[in-house]
Amino acid sequence: MEFSHLPEIAQKILTETGAFRQGHFQLTSGLHSSGYLQCALILQYPHHAEYICRELAQRLAAKKPDVVLSPALGGIVMGYELARALHCRGIFGERVNGEMQLRRGFFLRENERVLLAEDVVTTGGSVQELKAIVEAAGAQIIGYAALCDRSGGMFSPAQGLDSWVTLSIESWQPDLCPLCGKGIPIDKPGSRWKS
């Protein structure tokens, strides 16, 4: 994967942490890909998490969120650090029997301004699952944020998506995956898959 289009600091962080992997992967969305960004390898370093989220917060501050809501498991650290940088609450949703829910006493108030945050956006599926929670509470989605947008422009919500980096990594439906066709073993590193 070529990172030359990214700012020098992003290239350095991706390289030093070994966060980008090449091979044959089944993404959390179910799509297959030849590349995988393991954001946990970046976010394990608090100074990187703080830097990335402060940079994003500068772009998002004008939206004035009351709360940052992220999906477990991958979005928790990202959402927390972003909420800290934006001086607001940070909560997360969890899947219970396949359905995203707020647990642990977390709640949304009516008319609260909610920023949805994720580590990597491919299809936007995880943050879109949170959308129903926001709407049911009568709260308002004011935007989306991610460490990495790898959607190729396919996830383009009306409220906007701000990401620290944008990576163009080809992905395929499983039945159209050329790597499966070559018999290359698949890795399922996402949080929904058993390792």
**What pLDDT tens digit does each residue of the chain (195 aa) get?**
556 578 889 989 988 998 988 899 998 788 899 988 889 999 999 999 999 999 999 999 999 999 999 999 889 999 999 999 999 999 999 999 989 999 999 999 999 999 999 999 988 888 889 999 999 999 999 999 999 998 888 899 999 999 999 988 888 999 999 999 999 999 988 655 444
- What are 135-168's pLDDT values in tens digits? 999 999 999 999 999 888 889 999 999 999 998 8
Pairing of strands 113-121, 67-71: parallel
Write down all domains in the chain, each with its CATH number in brackets: 8-181 (3.40.50.2020)
In DSSP notation, 155-176 reads ---TT-EEEEEE----EE-GGG
Whole-number mean pLDDT of the chain?
91
Of 70, 168, 195, the residue nearest 126 (C-alpha): 70
Q: What is the pTM of this model?
A: 0.85
